[in-house]
Structure 1
Amino acid sequence: MKAVLKNLKSEKRDVENKTKLFEVAWEVCNQVGGIYTVIRSKVPSVIEKWGVDNYFLVGPYFEDQAAAHFDPATDYSTPIGKAVLEMQARGFDVHYGQWIVSGRPNVVLFNPYSVYDKLSEIKHYLYQDYNISIPDGDDLLDKVAAFGFQVKEFFHYLCANDFCDNNTIAHFHEWMAGIPIPGIRKSNLKIKTVFTTHATLLGRYLAMNDTGFYQNLPFYNWEEEANKFNVRPIAEIERASAHGAHVFTTVSDVTAQECTYLLGRTPDMLLPNGLNIERFEALHQIQNQHVQVKDKIHEFVMGHFFQSYPFDLDKTLYFFTSGRYEYQNKGYDLTLEALARLNWKMQQAGSDMTVVSFFITKRPFYSFNPEVLQSKAQIEDVRGVVDEITEQVGKRLYTEITSKEGAYEFPNLREMVDDYLRLKLRRNVQSWKTKNLPKVVTHTLVDDAKDEILNFLRSSNMVNNRHDRVKIVYHPDFISTTNPLFKMDYTQFVRGCHLGIFPSMYEPWGYTPLECLASGLPSVTSNLAGFGDYVVKNIPDHEDRGMYIIDRTDGNFHRAAEELANILFNFVQKTRRDRISLRYKCEESSLHFDWSNLGKYYDKAYETALER
Structure 2
Amino acid sequence: MELTPEEQVQKLSGAFLIESAWEVCNQVGGIYTVIRSKVPVMTRQWQDNYCLLGPLMNPNISAEFDPITDLNGPLGQAVSRMRDLGYEVRYGTWLVTGRPYTVLLDIKSAMNDVAGIRQQLLADYGIHINGQEELQNQVVAFADLSTKFVKILSEELQKENQQLITQFHEWMAALPILTFRKEKLPIKTVFTTHATALGRYLAMNDEDFYNNLPDYDWKSAATHFNILGIAEIERFVAQACDVLTTVSEVTARECQYFFTRIPDVITPNGLNIKRFVAYHEVQNLHGKYKDIIHQFVMGHFFNSHPFDLDKTLYFFTSGRYEFKNKGFDITLEALQILNSMLKESGMDVTVVMFFITKRPTWSINPEVLQSRGVMEEIRKTCDTIQQQLGERLFYDAAGSKNEYRLPDLNKFVDDFLRLKYRRILQSWKSDKWPIVVTHNLVDDINDEILQYIRRTELVNSPKDKVKVVYHPDFIDSTSPLFGIDYGEFVRGCHLGIFPSYYEPWGYTPLESIARGVPTITSDFSGFGDYISANVEKHEDSGVYVLKRYRRKPRVAAKDLAMMMFKFLKLTRRNRMVQRNKAEDLSEHFDWSGLVRYYNQAYVQSLESKRS
Matched, 1:122 2:117: yes
Provide the residue aligned with 1:443 in structure 2: 439
Matched, 1:562 2:553: no
TM-fit CA distance, 1:587:
0.3
**Local SS of the residue matching 1:321:** strand
Greater mean deviation of Cα atoms: 475-484 or 279-288: 475-484
**Aligned residue identity for 2:111:** Y
Change in Cα spacing, 1:8 to 1:455, as seen in structure 2 (3 Å) is closer
Provide the residue aligned with 1:198 in structure 2: 194
TM-fit CA distance, 1:156:
1.4
Matched, 1:179 2:175: yes
Matched, 1:402 2:423: no
**Aligned residue identity for 2:119:** H
**Aligned residue identity for 1:157:** I
Matched, 1:252 2:248: yes
Change in Cα spacing, 1:453 to 1:20, as seen in structure 2 (3 Å) is same
Greater mean deviation of Cα atoms: 80-89 or 504-513: 80-89
Is contact 2:11–2:603 with CA below 8 Å preserved after alignment? no
Greater mean deviation of Cα atoms: 77-86 or 462-471: 77-86
The equivalent position to 2:346 in structure 1, one of 334, 350, 366, is 350
* 1:269-324 deviation line (CA, Å, top 9, x unaligned): 21000111100010000000000000000000000000001100000000001111
Is contact 2:12–2:603 with CA below 8 Å preserved after alignment? no
Is contact 2:361–2:442 with CA below 8 Å preserved after alignment? yes
Provide the residue aligned with 1:3 in structure 2: none
**Aligned residue identity for 2:201:** Y
**Aligned residue identity for 1:340:** Q
TM-fit CA distance, 1:12:
5.2
Change in Cα spacing, 1:121 to 1:576, as seen in structure 2 (3 Å) is same
Is contact 1:546–1:582 with CA below 8 Å preserved after alignment? yes
Q: CA–CA distance in 2 between the matches of 1:533 and 1:222?
A: 25
Matched, 1:140 2:138: no
Change in Cα spacing, 1:12 to 1:366, as seen in structure 2 (3 Å) is closer
Q: CA–CA distance in 1 between the matches of 2:386 and 2:160?
A: 73
The equivalent position to 1:105 in structure 2, one of 100, 109, 133, is 100
Is contact 1:212–1:555 with CA below 8 Å preserved after alignment? no
Matched, 1:547 2:552: no
Matched, 1:328 2:324: yes
Is contact 1:17–1:54 with CA below 8 Å preserved after alignment? no
**Aligned residue identity for 1:90:** L
Identity %: 53
Is contact 1:134–1:141 with CA below 8 Å preserved after alignment? yes
Q: CA–CA distance in 1 between the matches of 2:161 and 2:146?
A: 19
Matched, 1:299 2:295: yes
The equivalent position to 2:385 in structure 1, one of 381, 386, 389, is 389
The equivalent position to 1:492 in structure 2, one of 483, 488, 491, is 488
TM-fit CA distance, 1:555:
3.3
Change in Cα spacing, 1:283 to 1:402, as seen in structure 2 (3 Å) is same
Is contact 2:304–2:432 with CA below 8 Å preserved after alignment? yes
Q: CA–CA distance in 2 between the matches of 1:370 and 1:9?
A: 57
* 1:544-582 deviation line (CA, Å, top 9, x unaligned): 111101111113122211111111001111110010010
Q: CA–CA distance in 2 between the matches of 1:57 and 1:164?
A: 20
Is contact 1:462–1:472 with CA below 8 Å preserved after alignment? yes
Q: CA–CA distance in 1 between the matches of 2:574 and 2:54?
A: 46
TM-fit CA distance, 1:14:
4.8
Provide the residue aligned with 1:19 in structure 2: 15
Is contact 2:9–2:599 with CA below 8 Å preserved after alignment? no
Provide the residue aligned with 1:87 in structure 2: 82
Is contact 2:338–2:564 with CA below 8 Å preserved after alignment? yes
Is contact 1:338–1:565 with CA below 8 Å preserved after alignment? yes
The equivalent position to 1:43 in structure 2, one of 39, 44, 53, is 39
Provide the residue aligned with 1:4 in structure 2: none
TM (norm. structure 1) is 0.96
Q: CA–CA distance in 2 between the matches of 1:12 and 1:379?
A: 60
**Aligned residue identity for 1:110:** L
TM-fit CA distance, 1:10:
7.6
TM-fit CA distance, 1:87:
0.8
**Local SS of the residue matching 1:559:** helix
* 1:428-454 deviation line (CA, Å, top 9, x unaligned): 111011000010111112222222111
Q: CA–CA distance in 2 between the matches of 1:570 and 1:219?
A: 39
Superposition pairs for residues 404-423 of structure 1, below 5 Å?
404=400, 406=402, 408-423=404-419
**Aligned residue identity for 2:596:** K
Change in Cα spacing, 1:525 to 1:378, as seen in structure 2 (3 Å) is same
TM-fit CA distance, 1:9:
8.1
Q: CA–CA distance in 2 between the matches of 1:236 and 1:256?
A: 17
Change in Cα spacing, 1:488 to 1:128, as seen in structure 2 (3 Å) is same
Change in Cα spacing, 1:163 to 1:560, as seen in structure 2 (3 Å) is farther
Q: Which runs of 5+ in 1 are unaligned?
A: 1-6
Greater mean deviation of Cα atoms: 342-351 or 449-458: 449-458
Greater mean deviation of Cα atoms: 406-415 or 441-450: 406-415
Provide the residue aligned with 1:223 in structure 2: 219
TM-fit CA distance, 1:360:
0.7
Matched, 1:283 2:279: yes
TM-fit CA distance, 1:338:
0.7
Is contact 2:12–2:602 with CA below 8 Å preserved after alignment? no
Is contact 2:25–2:58 with CA below 8 Å preserved after alignment? no
Q: CA–CA distance in 2 between the matches of 1:433 and 1:562?
A: 36
Is contact 2:18–2:167 with CA below 8 Å preserved after alignment? yes
Q: Which runs of 5+ in 2 are unaligned?
A: none
**Local SS of the residue matching 1:18:** coil
Provide the residue aligned with 1:477 in structure 2: 473
* 1:478-512 deviation line (CA, Å, top 9, x unaligned): 11111111111111110000001111111101101
Is contact 1:242–1:248 with CA below 8 Å preserved after alignment? yes
**Local SS of the residue matching 2:545:** strand
Matched, 1:502 2:492: no
**Local SS of the residue matching 2:496:** strand
**Local SS of the residue matching 2:449:** helix
Provide the residue aligned with 2:144 in structure 1: 149
Is contact 2:8–2:600 with CA below 8 Å preserved after alignment? no
Is contact 1:169–1:191 with CA below 8 Å preserved after alignment? yes
**Local SS of the residue matching 1:102:** coil
TM (norm. structure 2) is 0.97
Q: CA–CA distance in 2 between the matches of 1:605 and 1:330?
A: 30
Greater mean deviation of Cα atoms: 448-457 or 291-300: 448-457
**Local SS of the residue matching 2:86:** coil
Change in Cα spacing, 1:270 to 1:13, as seen in structure 2 (3 Å) is closer
Q: CA–CA distance in 1 between the matches of 2:446 and 2:341?
A: 29
**Local SS of the residue matching 2:59:** helix
TM-fit CA distance, 1:137:
2.9
**Aligned residue identity for 2:93:** Q
Provide the residue aligned with 1:78 in structure 2: 73
Q: CA–CA distance in 2 between the matches of 1:376 and 1:600?
A: 50
Is contact 2:313–2:493 with CA below 8 Å preserved after alignment? yes
**Aligned residue identity for 2:293:** I
Greater mean deviation of Cα atoms: 487-496 or 260-269: 260-269
The equivalent position to 1:58 in structure 2, one of 53, 57, 63, is 53
Q: CA–CA distance in 2 between the matches of 1:182 and 1:126?
A: 10
**Aligned residue identity for 1:298:** H
Q: CA–CA distance in 1 between the matches of 2:160 and 2:544?
A: 47
